[in-house]
């Protein structure tokens, strides 16, 4: 089984990484400005979190240009799997049932979910 630890981000780390994903490649100075505006962070906080995420292999800061090494979708997938594992004992049907009991979905959302289920089922065959 793969180690998904680099893909699990704390809330602040995720919001910070989103700034990179949405704007990459970007100069580190621009990232400082975006973090100040969007997250209310000081320059020192930005560079501390940037360094941490670089050490974990999530982001890269080369020659003052920040880019991602891991896709946003991969982080979202790892986080979703962790929620299903932790909260629903790994049961995707229990997760879906809990979600569907919390709010109604539109016909378009239901059709999209059916298409995803069909695609996943055919992938296994």
- State pLDDT tens for residues 76-109: 988 888 889 999 999 988 988 888 888 888 999 9
Query: Which domain, by its residues, includes 47?
Result: 5-72
User: What pLDDT is stored for residue 124 in this prediction?
Assistant: 61
Residues 101 and 68 in one domain: no
Residues 68 and 9 in one domain: yes
Is the entire prediction scored with pTM above 0.75? yes
User: What pLDDT is stored for residue 1 in this prediction?
Assistant: 34
Count the Cβ atoms, other than its own, within 10 Å of residue 34: 19
Residues 62 and 99 in one domain: no
Strand partners, 66: 26, 61
Residues 11 and 67 in one domain: yes
Q: What's 18's domain CATH number? A: 1.10.10.10
What is the torsional sign of CA 12, 18, 20, 23?
A: negative
Q: Is there a domain that residue 83 lies in?
A: no
Q: Is there a domain that residue 43 lies in?
A: yes
Q: Domain total for the chain?
A: 2
Q: Is there a domain that residue 98 lies in?
A: yes
């Amino acid at each position: 089984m793969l180690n998904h630890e680099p893909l699990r981000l704390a809330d602040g780390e995720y919001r910070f990484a989103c700034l990179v994903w949405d704007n990459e490649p970007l100069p580190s100075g621009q990232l400082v400005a975006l973090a100040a505006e969007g997250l209310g962070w000081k320059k020192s906080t930005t560079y501390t979190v940037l360094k941490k995420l670089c050490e974990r292999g999530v982001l890269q800061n080369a020659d003052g240009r920040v880019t991602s090494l891991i896709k946003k979708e991969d982080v979202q997938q790892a986080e979703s799997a962790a929620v299903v594992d932790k909260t629903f004992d790994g049961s995707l049907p229990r997760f879906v049932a809990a979600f569907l009991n919390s709010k109604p979905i539109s016909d378009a959302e239901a059709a999209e979910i059916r298409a995803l289920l069909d695609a996943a089922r055919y992938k296994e065959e």
